Amino acid sequence: MKKCKVILAALVMLMMFPGYCLASFNHLYWQYYKELPVTSSGFSAIRLDQEVMRHCQENFSDLRVTDQAGREISSQVIQPDKQRLDIATTERDRIEYPDYSSVVLDLGPQPQAHNRIDVNLDSSKDYMREVKLEASLDNQTWGKIGQGRIMMFHGRTYNTVSFTTNTARYMRVNISQVSGEKRLLLTNTQVYFMPVSLYQAKVIPVNLSQRSDRTRTNIVVDLQVPNFFINRVTIETPDRNYDRMLFVESDSQTSKTNRTLTMNTDNIFDYQWQNYASTRDYIEINQYARRYLLLSIDNGNSAPLKITGIKVTASPPYLMADLKGSARLWYGNPNIDLESYDLGKFAYLVQATDLRWVTPGPQQLNPDYKVPFSEQHKWLLDALIILVALGFVAIIIKNFDKIRELGKNEQQP
Amino acid sequence: MSPEEQQTLESLQAEITALKARVAALENSPSPHSSGDIPRSRESRSLIRSLRSESNQYTGITTSDASAADHSRLEEYIGGRLLNWVGALIVVFAVAYFLKWSFDNQIIGEMGRCILGLASGIALMTTGQLCQKRGYRLYGQGLIGAGIAIIYLSSFAAVNYYHLITPYIAFALMFITAITGGILAALDNAPATAAMATIGGFLVPFLMGSHTGQVIPLLSYVLILDLGVLFLAYYRQWLALDILALVGTAVISVVAQNMNWQVWPGQAFLTAYLILFIAVAANYNHRTRNNNQFLLFFSTVFFAAVSFSNVINKIEDWRGLFTLTLAMIFLIAYYLPLTASKTTVHFRRWLLVWALIFALLTAPLHLNDVYCAIAWLAVAALLLYLSRHLLLKLPYIVALVIITAVCLTALGSYVRPYLMPLFNQASLLMALCAVDWLLALVILPRLYQNRTYLTLTLSAAVISTLFYLVQFDIGNAIYYCQANQSFTFLIPVAWALISTMVLIIGVRRNNKTIRLLSLVLYGVVIIRTLFFDLRQLDIVYKILVLLAIGLIALAISFFYQKRMKGEVLP
């Protein structure tokens, strides 16, 4: 009998080892699909429309592309992170004029294309200066290529100036000085090229609801669908001379929950008086958002701002895949993990110019899809699990009493 | 018969007589286990003394006093045991130096080196076993240990340095060595050999040098090793060996997770290890009647934690099912006829405790957001009931910690008033927190008698929660209805009413502490009104709040005036 029990126990143990199971695409678990009309072969950028964004998972884990035969094709959501390319420079001439400072940068005999410069000034206090940029091929003839403002505000520096992409060898940076203020010296500059991202942000239509109390203005921005890549949120107000802290969070509900995503916190301000004007009425986000943006403006003891609108600049995501003909895009599977394809290792090398743009066809319901019972009646299973747990607790408490009695008997001589 | 033979015979006869007398004396002593505690009779002591001296005359060893006996034991230890170990180690070094010399001078080729190592290892093990059989126990153990080590090293060199054999053959060699070592250890009752075999067994995957990173064969191997340890644990009660196996299994499980880990097959192994170590712990408890919970505790905590981290991403919506399964494993272990009949009550109680812990964790882990917090509060209430029922303080303390954590979480999560007053999740949560605090306050006297400071602390917790609740909901109502902010004057008024309720309870129960507490609360309300609310309110509301608070204060004062006059109070 003892041997039988041992054998039985061993069998139970052996039964606990499931074999290898290979992960493969099974279309039965995907609720929706779209046809991808492709005629030629090569890397394609599939623009994900609002239908896809509405039904796909938060981290795009359920996006799958299959060929005509139903075989899975590697795909990768194109990351909006821009690959910055720094360019080495040599400082040539530095001249201090009464009302501005000037420095000439030599980018070398055959410089790479460049379109951004970071200008750092020697100051630990807040400042704002105008920057004018000029370019020259021979260090003699100069032409204006751009201008902008750099500033330090509340300890944070905003020191990037964008300009027209060019390949001139020499660049002259002219920094204005403000009379009556300490002259600020240029500490260093960095010229670089920022490639144009696929993510061309546009203002997207949103719905707003807004409420204010004494100290705070709360605004809920409904983006209509989740998974937008948000670049910037601009607060539109006719008010002047304010300086408020703005908090931006995102969630799939209209109120804050334990899983609310913090997007960014920054000041918005507007200073306008005689001979002085400075405004920053937006906050940079550069993140994927859930459906709702929860904006909160800290009013302190000031009157709430009169907000006339919220402008959200965002872009839909793009999926990259090496398509060899017509294909299908599948989405709408809440129980699937993100796949890690080889493509992820080199996708960032593929430039926008190398991609063909594909617009998916209309959304179609997968006729073979069946909602699993566990999803259809999850509440029932939840209740069952909790009831079983309660039953266990009741049994355990009853046995604790028994054990207590046994313990007493054991202690008695 | 020669005179020498005659002398030997006489000495043997004397020794037998002495031994017989000694056995008789021991049999007559009251308890063999407590001979150290109960003084022997004078006769038996003198008899033993005389026998010892008589015996020593023949053996030639002078042990007339205790220090001489200690010296003898030390001598035996150094000569018999320590020298044996040192000797075995020196032999291993000598062999190593010889091999190095022979390798450097190209006397022995690669194949020869490995065969030599394996042969000498087998020879040492065989010699060790023979020595054991002839009564040289410790000496034999040392030789077997050295033999096992040499076989492991030779196999390791053969596969990793010289690539003479495949990893599978090396694995087989090492595995056979481990099994042989284990069997020899069990047969000879040699824990040192068992430890050596176990350590070697767990080192095999690292020594084998396979770079395939396959997890299933590795975990299967560990499982077989653990089954061997379970087998040894059944025959021999070596706790150190069980702990060695647990540590080895834990280390390999963690290492395996960084290889080509597969979630579900890996989980099956982790579950099997947990069950196996519960069995080892039960076995140890049954064999030794020792209530040491080290094995059960660490195997449960480790394998439960590793399993949870393993499957959490796969079962995000079914976390409760995971803890429920763990609870079921412990409950089944508790109900198994073998456990019920063979283990101690203490061990079974701990099985129940673990089952209870996992059963209680089911709901909070399974649910999300506010339902999770509510489940935690339900767990706290259950623990409070348990502490009252079993008169245990630990569940009570755990319950208080849980309630505090939920309260703090609720305060942090629902600070923003967006919600419909009263009928919102945060209000429900805070109300349940208040109920739990109240329950703890009611149970407190059964566990801690005459601890006024505890009563006051819990009362303060109940009231603070209620204060926060009314403030939260009044704030919500103002926000929800977009009403004038000055309606916040209702907050101090509501606080004053709660303080009055506390006073009434104090009077009804004739409890001076509660009455004093209510007076402190009035103080808080008045301070709040004067230094906070008045600043924010419009003039009309300032009048209203001052009037309300003032009137309530006057009513209380009147109540105390009546009391001081000795009138009967309602």
DSSP B3-27: HHHHHHHHHHHHHHHHHHHHHHHHH
From the number of C-beta atoms within 10 Å of its C-beta (0-12, 13-18, 19+), residue B553 rates as middle
Give the mutation candidate from A17, A336, A411 for the B interface (greatest B CB count, under 10 A): A17
Query: Which residues of chain B make contact with A214, given a CB cutoff of 8 A?
Result: 485, 536
CA distance B352 to chain A (A): 6
Give the mutation candidate from B349, B420, B488, B538 for the A interface (greatest A CB count, under 10 A): B349
CA distance A228 to chain B (A): 25
Where residue A214 falls among pLDDT bands split at 50, 70, 90?
low
The answer to whether A385 contacts B269, with C-beta atoms less than 8 Å apart, is no
A18 in B contact zone (CB under 8 Å) = yes
Q: What is the pLDDT of residue B314?
A: 76
Q: Please, what CATH class does the domain formed by A85-193 belong to?
A: mainly beta
A383 in B contact zone (CB under 8 Å) = no
Q: What is the pLDDT of residue B62?
A: 45
Query: Do the beta carbons of residue A231 and residue A315 sit within 8 Å?
Result: yes
pLDDT tens by residue, A41-92: 888 999 899 999 999 988 898 999 998 888 899 998 887 766 678 889 998 8
The answer to whether A393 contacts B265, with C-beta atoms less than 8 Å apart, is no
The answer to whether B389 contacts A397, with C-beta atoms less than 8 Å apart, is yes
- How far is residue A188 from each of residues A119, A145, B127, B257, B259, measured CA to CA in Å? 6, 20, 79, 48, 47
The answer to whether B268 contacts A396, with C-beta atoms less than 8 Å apart, is no
- Residue B363 C-beta-side C-alpha neighbours within 13 Å: 24
Query: Which residues of chain A make contact with B277, given a CB cutoff of 8 A?
Result: none
Nearest 5°: phi and psi at A140? Answer: -120, -55
Dihedral class, residue B566 (left if φ above 0, else alpha if ψ from -120 to 50, else beta) = left
Give the mutation candidate from B321, B394, B538 for the A interface (greatest A CB count, under 10 A): B321
Q: CA B276, CA A72: separation in Å to the nearest integer?
A: 41
A21 in B contact zone (CB under 8 Å) = yes
Q: What is the pLDDT of residue B566?
A: 62
Q: What is the pLDDT of residue B44?
A: 47
Cβ-Cβ contacts under 8 Å between A and B: the total is: 105
Q: CA B470, CA B491: separation in Å to the nearest integer?
A: 7
Tokens 């060996």 belong to residue: B241
Q: What is the pLDDT of residue B210?
A: 55
Question: What's this model's pTM, rounded to 2 decimal places?
Answer: 0.61
Q: What is the pLDDT of residue A265?
A: 92
Instruction: Give chain B's residues under pLDDT 50.
Output: 30-48, 50-63, 417, 569-570
Query: Which residues of chain A make contact with B345, given a CB cutoff of 8 A?
Result: 403, 406-407, 410
Q: What is the pLDDT of residue B30?
A: 47
CA distance A339 to chain B (A): 14
| Domain parsing of chain A, residue ranges | 22-78+319-365, 85-193, 202-315, 376-405
Tokens 């080590």 belong to residue: B149
Q: What is the pLDDT of residue A199?
A: 76
User: At residue A22, does pLDDT exceed 90?
Assistant: no
Length of chain A counted residue by residue: 413
The answer to whether A400 contacts B328, with C-beta atoms less than 8 Å apart, is no
Q: What is the pLDDT of residue B564?
A: 67
Identity of the residue in B275, B313, B363 whose CB atom sits nearest the CB atom of A389: B363
Q: What is the pLDDT of residue B288?
A: 83
Q: Which residue of B has its CA nearest to A213?
A: B479
Where residue A135 falls among pLDDT bands split at 50, 70, 90?
very high
Q: Which residue of A has its CA nearest to B411?
A: A258
Q: What is the pLDDT of residue B417?
A: 47
Query: Do the beta carbons of residue A284 and residue A264 sit within 8 Å?
Result: yes
Q: What is the pLDDT of residue B32?
A: 42
| Domain parsing of chain B, residue ranges | 3-62, 368-453+461-467, 484-564
Q: DSSP letter for B64, please.
A: -
Query: Which residues of chain B make contact with A395, given a CB cutoff of 8 A?
Result: 331
Identity of the residue in A18, A218, A393 whose CB atom sits nearest the CB atom of B356: A393
Specify the fold of A202-315: Jelly Rolls (2.60.120)
- How far is residue B304 from each of residues A227, A395, B274, B395, measured CA to CA in Å? 35, 22, 8, 21
CB-CB neighbours of B285 under 10 Å: 24
Identity of the residue in A21, A382, A392 whose CB atom sits nearest the CB atom of B327: A392
- Residue B427 C-beta-side C-alpha neighbours within 13 Å: 16
* Helix, strand or coil, per DSSP, at residue B210: coil
The answer to whether A395 contacts B331, with C-beta atoms less than 8 Å apart, is yes
CA distance B410 to chain A (A): 10
The answer to whether B262 contacts A255, with C-beta atoms less than 8 Å apart, is no
CA distance B315 to chain A (A): 9
> Which of residues B26 and A184 earns the better pLDDT score?
A184
Q: What is the pLDDT of residue B292?
A: 80
pLDDT tens by residue, A145-173: 999 999 888 778 889 998 888 889 999 99
